[in-house]
Amino acid sequence: MSSTTTPDRRPGRTGAAPPPGSPAPGIVLAGLAKAFRTPQGPVHAVRGVEIAIEPGETVALLGPNGAGKSTTIEMLLGLTVPDSGTASVFGRTPNAAVDAGLIGAMLQTGALIREVKVRELVAMMAALYPAPLDVDEVLELTGLAEIAGHWTHKLSGGQTQRVRFAIALVSNPDLLILDEPTVAMDVEGRHAFWTTMRAFAARGKTIVFATHYLEEADEFADRVVLMAKGRVVADGPTTEIKAIVGLRTIKATLPGADLAALGRLPGVTGSDRRGDAVVLSCGDSDVAIRALLAAYPDARDIEISGAGLEQAFLQLTGDHHDDQTTTEVAR
């Protein structure tokens, strides 16, 4: 894939091996691609992903189902061998990093084995790692202390998810990878989960999590990597992604206005009606507001607002044709 489709080639983020004396390399995914054979023909799950992550960063992989997040994570973990490209974790291959106990992960799918109690399971996993966290501390942190003596096959979905998190956490990894960790959790569980994650990140750990909850990415990640159809379509701080898209909306009360005519105003990319109000999506809201007031001096109750990540997301991943990828996003 051409370099124009790879956004965010900031110096120091990607590229060759770090110069001598620089801090330990973080995580580098270079040109990762993976296709799966299916009866309907090959499915290109990941098509040339470039991501470089510094140690200590908390990065969200954000994207809809089928974006390639899980496959990317599996290659980062060494569970899937890429068709092309490489993944390296702190200067090692994924398998070597796993063997050294540097990675802890909570996979998207997976239940717990039976005939075992919660504490026994967490303690056994801790025993596999060179420098695990204290088991009781982890049970406390993950809200499992009270059910430490329960059988794993008698837990609720949310409890099971917390045990899976405890397993990832107890390994005390330098890189913690979580694939849609909060899917089966209730609101309270989610809140507790992110509180724990913040505390863990504060120890200087690197965290990569996949999510399709925009708020989670927005709220907990230093940086968002937006994926769609197997590619990275945007990569940067959440605020930066919003700025890249620059989407604003103008809402004004304008009874009886012609939507089609509004949509043709300079700076306006779309128009919609909500009762007496119209909502204009704008590429350039400054131009659009001047044009609007010139054409419709009686417009009132005017609001101009920045789009949330939700809208940025739709804009970036909406109708995304294979070749016309991300040039409008990349700088």
Among 6, 58, 80, 142, binds other proteins (CB under 8 A): 80
Q: How far is CA 99 from CA 24, 170, 178, 179, 229, in A?
A: 18, 16, 18, 20, 31
The closest alpha carbon to 284, from 303, 265, 301, belongs to 265
Q: How far is the CB of 216 from other proteins (least distance, A)?
A: 22
Q: How far apart are CA 201 and CA 223, in angstroms?
A: 13
Under the binding rule (CB under 8 A), the answer on residue 113 touching other proteins is yes
Label residues 86-115 b or e (16+ Cβ within 10 Å = b). ebbbbeeebeebbeebbbbbbbeeeebeee
Spatial contact of 172 and 160, defined as CB atoms under 8 Å apart: no
Under the binding rule (CB under 8 A), the answer on residue 268 touching other proteins is no
Q: How far apart are CA 46 and CA 68, in angstroms?
A: 5
State residue 87 phi and psi, 5-degree precision: -120, 135
Q: How far is the CB of 156 from other proteins (least distance, A)?
A: 16
Q: Give the nearer residue to other proteins in terms of CB position, either 168 or 250.
A: 168
Under the binding rule (CB under 8 A), the answer on residue 88 touching other proteins is no
Under the binding rule (CB under 8 A), the answer on residue 24 touching other proteins is no
Stretch that binds other proteins, among 61-69, 118-126, 138-146, 263-271 (CB under 8 A): 118-126
Under the binding rule (CB under 8 A), the answer on residue 37 touching other proteins is no
Stretch that binds other proteins, among 128-136, 180-188, 239-247, 322-330 (CB under 8 A): 128-136
Query: How many residues lie near other proteins (CB under 8 A)?
Result: 29
Stretch that binds other proteins, among 46-54, 107-115, 133-141, 268-276 (CB under 8 A): 107-115
Q: How far is the CB of 127 from other proteins (least distance, A)?
A: 4
Q: How far is the CB of 131 from other proteins (least distance, A)?
A: 11
Q: Give the nearer residue to other proteins in terms of CB position, either 106 or 241.
A: 106
Under the binding rule (CB under 8 A), the answer on residue 112 touching other proteins is yes
Q: How far is the CB of 100 from other proteins (least distance, A)?
A: 7
Under the binding rule (CB under 8 A), the answer on residue 77 touching other proteins is yes
Among 17, 127, 261, 293, binds other proteins (CB under 8 A): 127
Q: How far is the CB of 324 from other proteins (least distance, A)?
A: 35
Q: How far is the CB of 103 from other proteins (least distance, A)?
A: 6
Q: How far is the CB of 147 from other proteins (least distance, A)?
A: 18
Interface characters, 150-189, with other proteins (x: CB under 8 A): -----------------x---x------------------
Residues lying near other proteins in the complex (CB under 8 A) are found at 77-81, 98-101, 103, 105, 107, 109-116, 120, 124-125, 127-130, 167, 171
